[in-house]
Chain A
């Protein structure tokens, strides 16, 4: 995947997100007190083969069976990703255990984020958190279907960082995307939104 293609993808995703909102696709009647954006109709994910934090092959269909939250990030992200995962971990405490979602960090930096790196990282925030990685093409396919743009950005001092969408997606038990909560995230609000959307 060359850099120009990445930039094209990132730009296209941002444009698509804007277009989606402009066409009124994004916003449905909101459950009371909900800050998260609820989609008019749940969005079906494309079939994408990924690896989880244990190195086990998983397809997107395997996300079904319980509600889940998906956040795009990467291990070498020093600020937003650990802070957001900490917020999600706090939000879990506001959700009754019986209805807690599965939480997935989808790596936008699959070159560095192999399962052995991801497993201790996500479990540090919550032993029940999961991670997904794969090839750049696979991650782009999944992220593109959710309008979650990301791009690789070289650092002047060497190495690179990743720009990435910082929203948290709520998926229903059929692994369909039903809502997205955008930054800034607050634990109590995330939990309240999730519960309201899950049981409107």
Chain B
């Protein structure tokens, strides 16, 4: 019996370390909404939220869509009453943080539509993070 105790202890330790090594949190991407705009407009803004409940920062590094040839992260800022929109190469979501893409702020810029948007076909975007994880979000066009 005594021979088995160290082995059992090692097994417990291994199980404990395994649980420790796994980050129990998740990164959750909400549904996508597109700004209200007339049909035929060639640039749209996408809005959503990303919640990071993991213990590590997650860096959003790219976005793509079959409906648009170019998808970027842009932020609108007001400086001296002027509205300015600039690209952000990446967006970091800190542990426990929710980043919201919303009007007059950070948004997903959808440019160069691949084809006229079809009314009954959702716009799907893929968001990829620096660690290689990707998630999709979709919205009615």
A positions within 8 Å CB-CB of B: 10, 14, 17-18, 75-80, 82-83, 86, 120-121, 124, 149-150, 153, 155-157, 159, 161, 163-167, 182-184
What size tier do the contact residues of chain B reach? 20 to 34
* B53 → chain A closest CB, angstroms: 28
Closest 6 CB pairs of A and B: A124-B38, A166-B83, A78-B45, A83-B103, A78-B43, A79-B45
Instruction: Kindly state whether residue B23 has any CB partner on chain A within 8 Å.
Output: no
Q: Contact at B41–A121, with CB atoms within 8 Å?
A: yes
Instruction: Kindly state whether residue B115 has any CB partner on chain A within 8 Å.
Output: no
List residues of chain A with CB within 8 A of the CB of B85. 77-80, 161, 163
Q: Of the candidates A76, A82, A184, which one forms a contact with B42 in the assembled complex, judged by CB atoms under 8 Å apart? A: A76
Q: Chain B: which residue is nearest A89 at the CB level?
A: B36
Q: Chain B: which residue is nearest A18 at the CB level?
A: B80
Q: How does the 8 Å CB contact mask read for B8-40 relative to A, with 1 for contact and 0 for none?
A: 000000000000000000000000000111101
Number of contacts between A and B (CB, 8 Å)?
86
Binds A, one of B59-67, B71-79, B116-124, B125-133: B71-79
* A6 → chain B closest CB, angstroms: 13
List residues of chain B with CB within 8 A of the CB of A165. 81-83
Q: Contact at A184–B104, with CB atoms within 8 Å?
A: yes
Q: Contact at A157–B104, with CB atoms within 8 Å?
A: no
Q: Contact at B82–A80, with CB atoms within 8 Å?
A: no
Q: How does the 8 Å CB contact mask read for B75-116 relative to A, with 1 for contact and 0 for none?
A: 010101111110100000000000000011001011100000
Q: Contact at B70–A157, with CB atoms within 8 Å?
A: yes
Q: How does the 8 Å CB contact mask read for B41-53 relative to A, with 1 for contact and 0 for none?
A: 1111100000000
* A4 → chain B closest CB, angstroms: 18
Docked CA distance A38–B104 (Å): 24
List residues of chain B with CB within 8 A of the CB of A80. 76, 83, 85, 103-104
Docked CA distance A196–B36 (Å): 29
Q: Contact at A182–B104, with CB atoms within 8 Å?
A: no
Q: Of the candidates A149, A157, A184, which one forms a contact with B82 in the assembled complex, judged by CB atoms under 8 Å apart? A: A149
Q: Contact at B78–A166, with CB atoms within 8 Å?
A: yes
